[in-house]
Amino acid sequence: MPILEKVDRLADARAWYGDMPVESLYTAGIAGERFLRAIKDEGRLLGTHCAHCDITYLPPAIYCERCFAELNDWVEVGPGGEVHSFTVMAVGPDGAPLERPVVVAFVQLDGADGGLIHYLSDVDADEVEIGMRVVPVFKPAGERRGSILDITHFKPA
Ligand SMILES: [Zn+2]
């Protein structure tokens, strides 16, 4: 049966026993790599700006999703920002209650039209508010690996 042949009865489907001989390599993409390198090497947050639409993308994009223009205007955003929304997690991914609640916030960075979803710490969960001013906390330069977790969390400004 060719791979693209439609199976009408489940019993006609073939099974593959053992390991699938498939490998995948995921990348951050062109804009994502530059964004993560700026965090790792410089402790800066970079977005891309579309002059036509006057939108600054964060995370950065290599083309404008509104007018499809190629974006080459890299701009520094933040580091400060504002809590746009947040949630307080009391249960971990395994379903077990957490020792302390964890706050995850969508932070809109100054100068950007987008933002980052990240941990919000150094504040009691009951004190978090929409509009709260926050700043990122970066790992020390020698410990950064080119990951969004090179920002350990955001904290109140
Ligand atoms: Zn545009």
Give the CATH architecture of domain 29-156: Beta Barrel (2.40)
pTM: 0.81
Give the confidence band of 2 by pLDDT, cuts at 50, 70, 90: low
Using the mean position of ligand 1's atoms as its centre, give its distance from the Cα of residue 101 in Å.
40
Using the mean position of ligand 1's atoms as its centre, give its distance from the Cα of residue 51 in Å.
7
Using the mean position of ligand 1's atoms as its centre, give its distance from the Cα of residue 39 in Å.
25
Using the mean position of ligand 1's atoms as its centre, give its distance from the Cα of residue 75 in Å.
15
pLDDT in tens, 59-107: 999 999 999 999 999 999 999 999 999 999 999 888 999 999 999 999 9
Which tokens go with 61?
């994009």
